[in-house]
Amino acid sequence: MKQLIFIFIFLVAGVKQSSSHNSNNSSNTIADQASYISTTYHINQEAIEIALKGYQKLRNLGKLANIQYLTIADFSKPSNEERLFIIDMQLMQVVVKSLVAHGKNSGLKVANHFSNQLSSFQSSLGFYITGEIYKGKHGASLELNGVEKGINDQAKERAIVIHGADYVSNRYIQQQGYIGRSLGCPAVPNNQVATIINTIKGASCLFIYAPYSQYQNKSTYLD
């Protein structure tokens, strides 16, 4: 009987140790992946770590159909730099990168102010799931569904979508030092919009990042 009790305790301890080891491995994997991608593609490492965590959470919840791609808009960068990155999650490589606009009331060259409110003309941070393609006033556009209550869940009502814009271009950077701004949409260059939309359509994950403590304190996707 004592021998059986000893074996049982040994097995339980082994399971706990294995579970802890796997959990640590998962954390290390995210940190290692974020470090590699950040160094290779010059993306804010914190942005990648948060994006990977949220992507995994959305995937585990069954909310993502297009699991191959994770898109990050890194608003820690100024708008005269490429700051939209589409990562192939199988290859762990950036396959598309481009300029991307922020809302006109979020800031001039750098986005510092964010809102979920109608007519704020500011960008909203956090996690989105891509929706349907439709043809609007900017041509082909991609719906975005904000999944964070109180942070970006008014995206549909605000008509926050990915669309092309002529003010998102190197010509504007040469003229004024930064690209034009949107009414809150992550607008992209006209010559890249088709590639971007067709790559991330079909319920993939988009994460808009800025080093903004109010977002990180409120988001439920960073647990």
Q: Which two tokens stand for residue 68?
A: 């191959």
CB 207 within 8 Å of CB 47: yes
Domains of the chain, by residue range, sit at: 44-218
Domain with residues 44-218, CATH architecture:
Beta Barrel (2.40)
Q: What is the pLDDT of residue 12?
A: 41
Q: Which two tokens stand for residue 137?
A: 């006033």
Cα 151 from Cα 115, distance rounded (Å)? 7
CB 73 within 8 Å of CB 144: no
pLDDT 10s digit of each residue in the chain, 223 long?
A: 445 444 433 344 443 444 344 444 555 688 999 999 999 999 999 999 999 999 999 999 999 999 999 999 999 999 999 999 999 999 999 999 999 999 999 999 999 999 999 999 999 999 999 999 999 999 999 999 999 999 999 999 999 999 999 999 999 999 999 999 999 999 999 999 999 999 999 999 999 999 999 999 999 998 7
Alpha helix locations (H) across the chain?
A: 2-41, 45-60, 170-176, 193-200, 213-218
Q: What is the pLDDT of residue 15?
A: 38
